[in-house]
Chain A
């Protein structure tokens, strides 16, 4: 059995997850500027290059950065596995992904086809490196529980959407679209949202909700079945899309049902939590579950309206569910990591994790974010509103970055100034 996950020294260096976490809001900020400078009519088409650019500033730049940052940090703790050469892998993949994402966004926006081809390579390389190293790390797990199974399933989906995504992006690059382009794009987006992000969030929630909030555990049978069933429903959805497109709504309803059950279960666990203290992360989790329910219903209903409301669906599920969960996680993980690593280095009089982020700034950030989501939905019907809500979103992302960075800065300041270095901790050092 491998005990590396138990050790502070073997845990990934704090910079490995932090560089992903600190960069993510910047990409969302960039998306905000692009929304501000685009017109609502263009954005209502999901295949317009501008729409694809903005979507991926959020999905790659924000979602995947937060998710992979969290995976790098949590695999050792939640699954007890050690990622090979974690420092080097995270540095290299980070560089590839930053350049790839920027190449993709600007390439699509300014129609620079060479950028797109290079971006397809960089993004493909960066994601494949992270995904394969992580999947490889799981081979040492002895005791596979529901969370670990969910993480593995979601990484397999991540692998597939990376390959599809690289192909799709390269199609934009050479300007030739195969007959199946729209179908591939559809598979790519549905699997990314529900297969990669959705299953990962569910698997992590099994651990996180009891761990952070002393919420009751999800029932073992629910834990065991829900993610394999989502995986099966997503596979069924693909098969129906290929061979019986008029029946896809069956698989869709199944996927939606499973996510709604999860969302409502998570909400009831949160309400029944033993730890009554409420903070910004609870608000984010609760709003995420509600947006998931609305978003999922809209996604099914969308089928009966010629898919006219796809943009609204993306705002509700992508923004309301995934973005909310990711933001809530950032507010929890970053201060804890800063405290944990400083404490492990022997610094004793450091701010508690509660004092690292200004609570007022966090509340404003949350409020502006929710206002922006509602506003983006409204803008679909009243296009003149988009500019204003792009602004509220921009301010919200500036605040998010400020809040994250203020915790990160405490770490580097403390390391630099070395207040009351407590040597007694070193007698406790184990290795």
Chain B
């Protein structure tokens, strides 16, 4: 049986790994880092959407909490999308300083965000949605990024 918590936490790990690879690539040469950036940006966007378009919706429906934790998580997603965009611009402008300034900030924001999700939101989602966990994980897996 899949668990929502396990599935999404693992995906956090995957994004962390891509993040580190991207920073490695930029350290070596910002001219050739576009690919690594795209890989990280795509994985992250996919993760956000799996939550926003699948798991959060199910959670909100089940618990009736639309202004609670999921709203705060959506807000943080917006903050992170913003930083991601800035990093993309920095890569285009080949501005290493600007890139690392934003990636550093994103890193901490992302880790705090993941910690809150893994410790609180996912645990709670798992409790409320355990009966439908398989279906929800399947939906997240097969979701197409918009």
Contact = CB atoms under 8 A, between A and B. Distances in A.
A is bound by B: yes
Interface of A: 1, 3, 5-8, 77-78, 80, 143, 145, 207, 210-212, 214, 274-277, 332, 336, 339-340, 343-344, 348, 351-355, 425, 428-431
Contact of B97 (A145, A336, A354): A354
Interface in B49-64: none
Nearest to B97: A354
Nearest to B16: A214
Given A3-B68, A352-B105, A353-B101, A214 B19 contact: yes
A366 to B, nearest CB: 18
Contacts of B109: 340
A1 B72 contact: no
B107 A212 contact: yes
A6 B118 CA distance: 12
A430 B74 contact: yes
A343 B81 CA distance: 13
B23 A5 contact: no
A77 B114 CA distance: 11
B23 A430 contact: no
B71 A430 contact: yes
Given A275-B23, A354-B100, A428 B75 contact: yes
Nearest to B105: A353
A429 B71 CA distance: 9
Contact of B20 (A77, A274, A425): A274
A336 B105 contact: yes
A425 B68 CA distance: 18
B119 interface: yes
A22 B107 CA distance: 24
A403 to B, nearest CB: 16
Given A428-B75, A430-B75, A211 B100 contact: no
A20 to B, nearest CB: 20
Contacts of A7: 72
A276 B23 contact: yes
Given A336-B108, A430-B67, A430-B74, A277 B23 contact: yes
B39 interface: no
Given A211-B111, A354-B101, A430-B67, A343 B79 contact: yes
Contacts, number: 92
B125 to A, nearest CB: 11
B69 interface: yes
Nearest to A274: B20
Contacts of B135: none
A339 B105 contact: yes
B9 interface: no
B3 interface: no
A343 to B, nearest CB: 6
10 contacts: A1-B120, A80-B120, A211-B111, A214-B16, A274-B20, A275-B19, A276-B20, A277-B100, A348-B82, A352-B102
Contact of A430 (B72, B98, B119): B72
B123 to A, nearest CB: 7
A211 B75 contact: no
A277 B23 CA distance: 8
B72 to A, nearest CB: 5
A325 B97 CA distance: 25
B22 to A, nearest CB: 10
Given A214-B19, A274-B17, A348-B82, A5 B75 contact: no
Interface in B62-113: 67-69, 71-75, 78-79, 82, 97-98, 100-102, 104-105, 107-109, 111-112
- Which of B23, B102, B104, B123 has the most C-beta atoms of chain A within 10 angstroms of its own C-beta? B104
A3 B119 CA distance: 11
Contacts of B108: 211-212, 332, 336, 353
A1 B125 CA distance: 12
Nearest to A7: B72
Interface string B8-32: 0000000011011001100100000
A426 to B, nearest CB: 11
B20 A275 contact: yes
B124 interface: yes
A214 B107 CA distance: 9
Which of A6, A353, A354, A431 lies at the interface centre, i.e. has the most chain B CB atoms within 10 A of its CB?
A: A6
A343 B124 CA distance: 28
Nearest to B27: A276
Contacts of A353: 101, 104-105, 108
